[in-house]
Amino acid sequence: MTPPFRADQIGSLLRPPALLDIRRRHAAGLVGAADCARAEDEAIREAVAMQERAGLNIISDGEFRRASYHSYFFAKLGDLKPDWRAEDDVQGPLGTRAPQPQARIASKVAWTAPIHVDDFRFLKSLTSHTPKITIPGPCALHFRGGDAAILKSAYTNVQDFWDDKVKAFRAELTALAQAGCTLVQMDETSLAKFGDPQVQRMLQERGEDWRATLELYVQIINRVTRDLPPSLRIGIHLCRGNRGGQHHAEGGYDVAAQQLFNAIDIDLFYLEYDSERAGGFEPLAAVPKGKSVVLGLVSTKSGAMEDRNALIARIHAAAKFMPLDHLALSPQCGFARVDTGNPISPQQQEAKLKLVVDVAKEVWG
């Protein structure tokens, strides 16, 4: 079998408290790099065992070497911060909208060495199942700062920024493919947010037409993924923010469905669908023949367990708009897109992953 499997997962997992403590002490200069790496290795071994115990065929390293799903990657490309937050941005209640982080671009974008090749090789050494590497999408920096963030200090021409960004992402994806990686998930979280009137207003206030920005992002993603080694399959994950049980946007896929599913030259989509904020399944009718969708129906934002029969019913409801044979099931996002994680226990995390596997077996056999 090759991906997508019927039961999938998005990548990040809850960090063990001991690992968080060692990483904090390493950042403070109290623990050496070698000791920190050994702790990460051991935590990843345990995470792999947990995923296999749950029955998954796609295995991640939990993103255990990262503080967030995107900051580590962008820091390797320069003095780039996708997640700057104001001092008064405090964690709000579960289920509320969190302020959108801002980008700080203080250098040119440049790929100088493989970022996740060693991570892939270590993960591959731990499992006979398919290792999945997750990376951020190429558009988040612009989405969180616009042209103004690009031109503030690092660039005098926005096109140069995009050219450098495309070159860097292509270099990393090519390096992963050459190392034997067959599946990369790009977390391009900006794309699902264009259906939110508040996001549309935000873009308008900084001088952008959201439709033109969406079209630009589609072009950039296609430039990044065009003519990569055929052994490498890329899936794109869309969500509306996931930090400590909060979100950044609301709204369905309706307004962007045609461009998302038809104009983007990717055939595998991981879609957040765990709440009413994501809208209905009707936009799936725009998915062309041959493309696949992984339905993110299981929430990682809280420990409340989904009803098995309700999940099965929702899968069949989605199948009214595209073939059941091109659908799969997953949680809607990672369990810890920042290292502090979501308000959920390790036991609940494993139970939710096992629920995904068990429901997938019942629906698809």
Rounded Cα distance, 296 and 238, in Å: 10
3-state class (DSSP) for residue 205:
helix
Rounded Cα distance, 60 and 44, in Å: 9
Q: Write the pLDDT tens digit of every residue in 222-278.
A: 999 999 999 999 999 998 765 655 555 677 788 889 999 999 999 999 999 987 877
Nearest to 349 by CA among 37, 24, 46, 40: 46
Rounded Cα distance, 18 and 35, in Å: 13
Residue 242 has a pLDDT of: 58
- CA 336, 339, 345, 349 torsion-angle sign: positive
3-state helix, strand, coil in the chain (%, to 5): 45, 15, 40
User: Which residues lie closer than 8 Å to 262 by C-beta, 6 or more apart?
Assistant: 286, 288
Q: Write the pLDDT tens digit of every residue in 304-344.
A: 999 999 999 999 999 999 999 999 999 999 999 889 899 99
Which one is predicted more confidently, 268 or 190? Answer: 268
Instruction: Determine which helix (DSSP H) or strand (DSSP E) holds 130, and give its type and residue range.
Output: strand 130-131
Residue 83 has a pLDDT of: 77
Residue 241 has a pLDDT of: 64
| Residue 212 exposed, middle or buried by CB count within 10 Å (0-12, 13-18, 19+) | exposed
pLDDT above 70 as % of the chain: 92
Q: Write the pLDDT tens digit of every residue in 84-106.
A: 654 445 555 555 666 677 889 99
Residue 244 has a pLDDT of: 54
Domains and CATH numbers, the chain: 17-364 (3.20.20.210)
Which amino acid belongs to residue 262?
N
Rounded Cα distance, 321 and 273, in Å: 15
